[in-house]
Amino acid sequence: MPVVLPDGARRDQPAAWVEIRYRNLTAFTLVLFGGDNGLTLLGAHALEGLGLEPSRFPLA
């Protein structure tokens, strides 16, 4: 999937639709796969798909 990084660089990232579950909630969301040195991050889009407020999950 083509993406634009914060520094303006463009690249293709592998992507897939996945099922995520949190407690009794389930949602399907599009995820991008980063490199080996990339961060693991459940984004606001995924949290909102579960009906959760992203601000309840601050970054560590």
Q: Does the predicted model carry a pTM greater than 0.85? A: no
DSSP label of 24: T
pLDDT at 56: 72
Taking residues 21-28, what's their average pLDDT? 88
The distance in angstroms from the start CA to the end CA of the chain is 27
Dihedral of the alpha carbons of 22, 27, 46, 30, in degrees to the nearest 10: 140
Taking residues 52-60, what's their average pLDDT? 67
pLDDT at 38: 66
Instruction: Provide the residue ranges of all domains of the chain, joining segments of one domain with +.
Output: 2-56
pLDDT for residue 17 is more than 50: yes
Taking residues 10-24, what's their average pLDDT? 89
How far is Cα 2 from Cα 36, in angstroms, rounded to an integer?
18
Dihedral of the alpha carbons of 7, 9, 11, 14, in degrees to the nearest 10: 0
Taking residues 40-47, what's their average pLDDT? 72
